[in-house]
Amino acid sequence: MGTDDPPPRSSRWRSPLGGALNVTRAFAPPSLPWLPGHRGTDLAARPGQRVHAAGAGVVRYADRLAGRWVVSIVHLDGLRTTYLPVRPMVRLGQAVSTATVIGVVESHPAHCRATCLHWGLISPERYLDPLLLIGQGRVRLLPHWNLVTDPLGRGSEGP
């Protein structure tokens, strides 16, 4: 998969909460990797609501991190999904499928005003909108320019 390719979409992916999704905060990646941004999608949820794995894979992390419960799953195609604040019902190294309940949503007021599930998607190269997995994400195409820079540092369009 190239760096500009969206993740593959197929029936092997599902919403972690099931049913219609209510996005309370959209994916808003930073312009540069080290800048602040929102590297996932927040979905309205209820405390105690069950969370399913979005796709088959292996649990990479299931513990507290920075005061929140986090579950992370590595998928066969190199993608990684993250879920927080989710109290795990799975363990490190466990194989999961879309039928697997990986945990339950916990209230964490420092993240969302109302209880939510923060769902993340990471490719080997960058963060992606997890809604792309289920055909609901927004794909933005950027123009591609070939810039030639002169010795004085001024850019000009080139072939």
pTM of the predicted structure, to 2 decimals: 0.78
User: What was the pLDDT predicted at 6?
Assistant: 45
Please give the chain's pLDDT, 159 residues, in tens: 343 444 444 468 999 998 888 999 999 988 888 888 889 999 999 999 999 999 999 999 999 999 899 999 999 889 999 999 999 999 999 999 999 999 999 987 776 778 999 999 999 888 999 999 998 766 554 544 454 544 455 454 444
73 Rama sector, left if φ>0, alpha if ψ -120 to 50, beta otherwise: beta
User: What was the pLDDT predicted at 62?
Assistant: 98
User: What was the pLDDT predicted at 140?
Assistant: 54
* Spatial separation of the C-alpha atoms in residues 84 and 72, rounded to whole Å: 9
User: What was the pLDDT predicted at 112?
Assistant: 74
User: What was the pLDDT predicted at 137?
Assistant: 61
Residues in the chain: 159
Q: How would you label 11-31 residue by residue, b for 16+ Cβ within 10 Å and e otherwise? A: eebbbbbeeebeebbebeeee
CB atoms inside a 10 Å sphere around CB 121: 25
